[in-house]
Amino acid sequence: MMKTIYFIRHAHAEGQPFDSALTKKGREQADALIAFFSEKEINRIYSSPYLRAIETISPLAKSRGMDILEDERLGERMLSSSYFDDWQDKLRESFADFDLCFEGGESHAQAMERVQSILEDVILSEDQNIILVSHGNLTTLMLRYFDDRFGFEQLMNMTNPDVFEILIHNDEVKLNRIWK
């Protein structure tokens, strides 16, 4: 039996904090997901509890009369509790060393444990067509779960929103970026 998992990186948002809302452009992008998924069957929707993730998937969920299951494991990886002017350099370093952990932050190794946990649950679930809504860094790690070539460069090339399709049949996995 085939299982399809869609990873959605949230639409354009006002910022990075937990309660950052989508911008006007982001709300338009969220509405565009309704047409984008119109020909695709969806059985379950999971989302990061961050406002920008919930707002990204809400129009699609509402159009289908579906609930959004909020899951903390889809929350963005916290690089550090401190602000870094050179945050992109720090982020690049964290992809080079998965155990690197800045003050108040989470290492990639720790975030991968969350990723593995939710992906194993989703893969073993009865649902065949599942959406997972998350953030850039965590989406990159979810993609990396299936293809270890995903890292810093792929994260920097992701768009807001972005959509990836993972097709799982027996032990074969096909990964495609499907957002245009």
Residue 1 tokens read as: 């039996």
Task: Classify domain 2-76+126-177 at the CATH superfamily level.
Answer: Phosphoglycerate mutase-like (3.40.50.1240)
Q: For 2-154, list the strands marked E by DSSP.
A: 2-9, 44-47, 68-70, 129-134
Is the confidence at residue 1, as pLDDT, over 80? no
The full length of the chain comes to 180
pLDDT of residue 123: 95
Please name every residue paired with 4 in a beta bridge, in sequence order, or none if there are none.
129, 167
Residue-wise pLDDT tens digits, 44-90: 999 999 999 999 999 999 999 999 999 999 999 999 998 889 999 99
15 and 47 Cβ atoms separated by less than 8 Å: no
Give the pairing type, strands 162-169 and 172-177: antiparallel
- Both structure tokens of 4: 């399809």
Report residue 39 as tokens: 């020909």
Q: Quote the pLDDT of residue 180.
A: 84
Among 131, 138, 141, smallest CA distance to 68 is for 131
Q: Using the 8-state DSSP alphabet, how is residue 12 labeled?
A: -
pTM of structure: 0.96
At residue 17, the pLDDT reads 74
Q: Is the predicted pLDDT of residue 155 greater than 90, yes or no?
A: yes
90 C-beta neighbours (distance < 10 Å), count: 16
